[in-house]
Chains A and B, each alone.
Chain A
Amino acid sequence: MAKTARTCNTCVLDETTPGVSINADTGLCQFCEHFTPLPKEKKEEYRTRMDTLLKSPPHQGKYDVIFALSGGVDSSYTLYRLKKEYPDLKILAVQFDNGFISDTALENARKFCNLTKSTYLRLCLDQKALRDTFSKAAVSRDAYPGTAKYRASDICNTCISIIKQKIIELAVTTNSPYIVFAFSPGQTDAPFVTLTKPFLVWMRKIFDGNLKSMGVTERDAYLIDPNLIRPGSPEPRVTIIHPFLIWEYNKPEFKKECLKLGWIDPDLKDHNSSNCLLNAFAIKNHLDKYHIHSYAFDLAALVRQGNMKREDAQEKLKVDNSDPSIQEVEHRLKG
């Protein structure tokens, strides 16, 4: 009789996923076995630090915060709440147009910028070159390390890395002290990241290497301007903040709140994105290549931390290969 794959008793990871092992005695995956919840005092300490930074920013440039806005639930809610809690912040909200964001996401982003009186910037790069880059990411193998493969698909890792590089570049050039990303507590562990020049040089080099191994030849447009981090240039004075490691994370509640504020549900078939048409294709591509659902580790972490119900995460992990966006994206990437 065939042996059935075991699923962790706590989260949603199962042993069919490469790198996941389930302890036969405890029934837990290695991540749940070694998990230590963040102590309450630590969370309070982070909260105080965020309040200190955002209540009285140094006003060193035109903006206090460069905000990464996708137009999805998490980032729309974060923008709204940031402005509600810190009304004096001058925010530049940047929406990266990767050529696959839905019209609804564009509309939601503009709406939430108006609502919060934030400046809106639609960041556009050469669309044909981007399509070519995503195609290369789709056919690549092992361009990103094992750890990155657990966090996101090769396509999403490419897109997110471009966004990070360009947002950091914007923060440095506008002399803005803070960058805010609405990453979920399953996607990152560090509530604050202070950027230094050697760190940025290193990160640029790593991403350049990832792109190179995918066969991307024109890479400069995706990377931080090297002049900003060359020897002798001023030290960047930028800190990245991830508020979802400090606030409670409750996506259904965020969605309710956003809908009340006029956010429109794009009603995509994909359970994991409310803004990007690439996502369903990217998930399938990752599963086909590595047998890893690119949201499994993120959702597992949310369940482990008590931020999501296990059955909700399991629902999100269901893959619908009949999603028409998969064929549409495949076709557009080939073109």
Chain B
Amino acid sequence: MDETREDILYFLKTQGFLNEKTVLQEHDSLSETGVIDSITLLQLVDYLESKYSIQIPVETITPENFDTLAGICQTVMKLKNG
């Protein structure tokens, strides 16, 4: 879980979506804090699919699953474990 979290933060930082000083809490809304929008979200989905060799079904792209670090980590874990 921690590793997934670090990967997501690494992606957001290296792609310029998050600056070095921003501290994100587990349940902060990524869309409301301005970290992601529709295009960034799709880039993140693409990154996670490549990184973990998983398929993220479109119906799982919801705020519950993708708007917080905690939600994304849980979704990735579920998909990784089949």
Contacts and interface: CB of A to CB of B under 8 A. Distances in A.
B52 interface: no
Interface residues of B, number: 24
A146 B34 contact: yes
Contacts of A34: 14-15
B16 A30 contact: yes
Nearest to B13: A30
A195 B41 CA distance: 13
B68 interface: no
B34 A196 contact: no
Main secondary structure of the interface of B (DSSP, over half): loop
A281 interface: no
Contacts of B58: 194-196, 199
A206 B61 CA distance: 14
Contact of A189 (B14, B46, B61, B62): B46
Contacts of B18: 146
A202 B62 contact: yes
Contact of B62 (A142, A146, A147, A199): A199
A193 B63 CA distance: 17
A189 B43 contact: yes
Contacts of B39: 147-148, 151, 188-190
Nearest to A34: B14
A202 B63 contact: yes
B40 interface: yes
Contacts of A19: 16, 19
10 contacts: A34-B14, A145-B17, A145-B37, A146-B17, A147-B15, A147-B35, A148-B39, A194-B58, A196-B58, A199-B58
Smallest CB-CB A-B distances: 3 pairs: A145-B34, A198-B62, A190-B42
Interface of A: 19-20, 30-31, 33-34, 142, 144-148, 150-151, 188-190, 193-196, 198-199, 202-203, 205-206, 209
